Amino acid sequence: MPSVSEVEFSRRGLLAGSAATAVIVASPAGAVATTPPKAEAAPTMPVRFKVNGEKRELSLDPRTTLLDALREHLHLTGTKKGCDHGQCGACTVMVDGVRINSCLSLAVMHEGDEITTIEGLGTPDKLHPMQAAFIKHDGYQCGYCTPGQICSAVAVLDEIKRGVPSHAQGDLMTKPTASNVEMRERMSGNICRCGAYSNIAEAMAEVAGAKA
Q: Which residues bind another protein (CB under 8 A)?
A: 39-40, 42-43, 45, 61-63, 65, 84-86, 89, 92, 98-101, 104-106, 108-109, 111, 152, 155-156, 159, 162-167, 169, 172-173, 184-190
Task: Kindly tell me which of 51 and 108 has the beta carbon lying closer to another protein.
Answer: 108
Tell me the closest approach of the beta carbon of residue 171 to another protein, in angstroms.
9
Tell me the closest approach of the beta carbon of residue 67 to another protein, in angstroms.
11
Tell me the closest approach of the beta carbon of residue 57 to another protein, in angstroms.
16
Task: Kindly tell me which of 131 and 190 has the beta carbon lying closer to another protein.
Answer: 190
CB 92 within 8 A of CB 101: yes
Cα-flanking dihedrals φ and ψ of residue 74, to 5°? -100, -5
Task: Kindly tell me which of 63 and 193 has the beta carbon lying closer to another protein.
Answer: 63
- Of 192, 162, 161, 165, the C-alpha closest to 178 is 161
C-alpha span between 159 and 39 (Å, rounded): 42
C-alpha span between 104 and 169 (Å, rounded): 27
- Of 163, 83, 30, the C-alpha closest to 92 is 83
Task: Kindly tell me which of 30 and 43 has the beta carbon lying closer to another protein.
Answer: 43
C-alpha span between 129 and 167 (Å, rounded): 27
Tell me the closest approach of the beta carbon of residue 180 to another protein, in angstroms.
13
C-alpha span between 147 and 117 (Å, rounded): 8
Task: Kindly tell me which of 17 and 62 has the beta carbon lying closer to another protein.
Answer: 62
The tally of CA atoms less than 13 A away on the side-chain side of residue 83 is 14
Tell me the closest approach of the beta carbon of residue 208 to another protein, in angstroms.
16
